[in-house]
Amino acid sequence: MKGEKAMKYIGYHRTSTKEQHLDRGLAEIKAYCEQNNIPLKKIYTDQQTGKNFDRPRYTVMKEDVLEAGDVLIITELDRLGRSKKDTMKEIQHYRDNGIRLMVLELPTTLMDLSKMDNSLQAMMLETINNMMLELYASMAQAEIEKKEKRQREGIKAKKDRGEWEDYGRPSIEKPDNWDAVIAQWEEKEITAVEAMKRLGLKKTSFYKLVKADKATA
């Protein structure tokens, strides 16, 4: 920290997608700060994957806002990140730079060890704290690995059933001139190549729509 700047309490919350709501996490951080008379300055948010730390608001917070003596508050460790290796690296960055991390789901992180009179007790609590952080980082990574495994199994099952091509690609819409062109093609007035050209379709898309047409006929 440069000079005698006042300690800042900064919150951070993340959801994996924009469809998920940030509200619950924001409310938890604000409620905790209000209950404990903590002057929360700001909460930074991102709505993208926790698999890496390449997130715009997180980067601003980490590089331009947080300084030595500041406190970062999050609700759960997996809101910080889901990769154990990268998350532990971020935690170490904050330690090295004198920034305290408070995780609401981990009570040991909510105690300010620097204010404890008993140095032995503080050291023991810090050891427990580090163990718990590593454990929760492992759990966060295990959860995303389990999710990815389920996704891989689901994709394999669809491929085995011959459904993946339809599922994995966006649906193709029929061009406005479909009926007229197909009628000419079926009457052998034009070739398939000419029909594709008039419809603006590639061979795979053309025959896929033809097959779908026959299935609903």
Q: What is the pLDDT of residue 140?
A: 65
- Token pair for residue 89? 């690296």
Cα distance between residue 216 and residue 108, in whole Å: 63
The reported pLDDT for the residue numbered 124 is 66
Is 70 exceeded by the pLDDT of residue 216? no
Q: Encode pLDDT of 7-36 as tens digits.
A: 899 999 999 888 788 999 999 999 999 999
Mean pLDDT of the chain: 82
Of the candidate CATH numbers 3.30.1360.20, 3.40.50.1390, 3.40.50.11540, 3.40.50.300, the domain formed by 9-143 belongs to 3.40.50.1390
Per-residue pLDDT averaged across 146-156, rounded? 71
- pLDDT tens sequence across 50-100: 888 989 999 999 999 999 999 999 999 888 888 888 888 998 999 899 999
Q: What is the pLDDT of residue 9?
A: 96
Q: How much is the pLDDT for 114?
A: 67
State the pLDDT at residue 156: 72
> Strand 40-47 and strand 100-103: pairing?
unpaired
Q: What is the pLDDT of residue 29?
A: 96
Rounded distance, CA 8 to CA 40, Å?
Answer: 7
Distance between CA atoms of 82 and 51, rounded to whole angstroms? Answer: 5
Domain boundaries, the chain: 9-143, 172-216
Are 110 and 71 in contact, with CB atoms under 8 Å apart? no
In Å, how far are 47, 64, 87 from 54, measured between CA atoms?
12, 15, 12
- 142, pLDDT greater than 70: no
Taking the C-alpha atoms of residue 42 and residue 26, their distance in angstroms, rounded to an integer, is 10
| Nearest residue to 56 (alpha-carbon basis) of 2, 26, 19, 14 | 14
What is the H or E stretch that residue 41 is in? strand 40-47
Helices and strands counted in the chain (H then E): 9, 4
Residues ≥6 apart with Cβ < 8 Å to 132: 106, 108, 109
Mapped onto helix, strand or coil, the DSSP state of residue 112 is: coil
